[in-house]
Amino acid sequence: MSYSPEALEAFVQTLARGSFSAAARRLGKSQSTVSEAISRLEIDLGVELFDRSSRHPALTEAGRALQGRIEEVLAASDQLRRAAGRLAEGMEPRLTLVLSDANQFAEFEVRMAELDQRFPELELECVFAEHGDAISLIQSGRASLGLLSAQAVYPPEVGHATIAERADFGLFVSLRHPLAAEDEVDYRNLAQHRALRLNTLVDQSIPTSDLPNGAKRSWSAPNYLLLMDMAIFGFGWSALPRWLVRGYGQGRLKELQVPGWPRSSAVDVIWSRQKSLGPAGAWLLDTLLEGQSEH
């Protein structure tokens, strides 16, 4: 038995957004269309997926049991579209990548050289964004692929997979900052000084939950490069990519010795499940995914 991709997409969007109406807005369809699609899926599967007795639909026991399988089917469908895109005639005129200052990709130069050799006529654009901003660029279709520090949750229309690279962070201050004189620093010490954070979304690299109440106000910036400059000027302490400090800090920052630091985080590649990649984008994604598992 085959199942409509539209019905499967309606299921995951309803689950992610909490209502048929919100899912319909995201999919650009009417609420009745989404509701009917899920009802047909329930008939095809022979089980009820959502409990509709309350204002907001909730997963039934059967819905929870099948959720992972439905997401697997959508992931397989996404792989099929990419394979078809590689075989289709024509080349996308431009490939836009979203990158993060947090990550120094050891294989990036090699991948770009291979991309240039395989697709010499391709126009490549790289833009920098962090966290939610990177995801929004993929959702809107502004970018085709993104590389960012792994997030706990992604919208259902965004495909994601963890690659081999990792992002390495440390806590840094200016050499003339008061904390620079300390051999070891704890979270209580940090709380007495201004934190420098990303303002794109919650900066998961800074241990906000670990800080005691009463921490001084924070300053924010849209990217790690600007945060590094702010730290160099002595405005506060910040969690920064260690590669960035090594390459561009010019010896003007000190890495603090704080329990639990330095930290590393996984790196994800993301793409839209609602828009097929062209041959170049599909090749680059498959190359990044070699030996990795998709979600």
Angle of CA points 90, 9, 89, to nearest 5°: 10
Separation between Cα atoms, residue 41 and residue 74, nearest integer Å: 14
Tell me the pTM.
Answer: 0.69
Separation between Cα atoms, residue 67 and residue 11, nearest integer Å: 9
Residue 207 is predicted with a pLDDT of 44
Digit-coded pLDDT (tens) for 240-289: 999 999 999 999 999 999 999 999 989 999 999 988 899 999 999 999 88
Residue 33, both tokens: 């269309």
Digit-coded pLDDT (tens) for 187-241: 999 999 999 998 864 444 444 444 444 456 789 998 899 999 999 999 999 999 9
Strands 253-255 vs 158-174: parallel, antiparallel or unpaired: antiparallel
Digit-coded pLDDT (tens) for 12-35: 999 999 999 999 999 999 999 999
Residue 38 is predicted with a pLDDT of 93
Digit-coded pLDDT (tens) for 129-149: 988 899 999 999 999 999 998
Q: Is the peptide bond before 155 cis (omega within 30 degrees of 0)?
A: no
Residue 179 has pLDDT above 90, yes or no: yes
What percent of the chain is predicted at pLDDT more than 70? 89
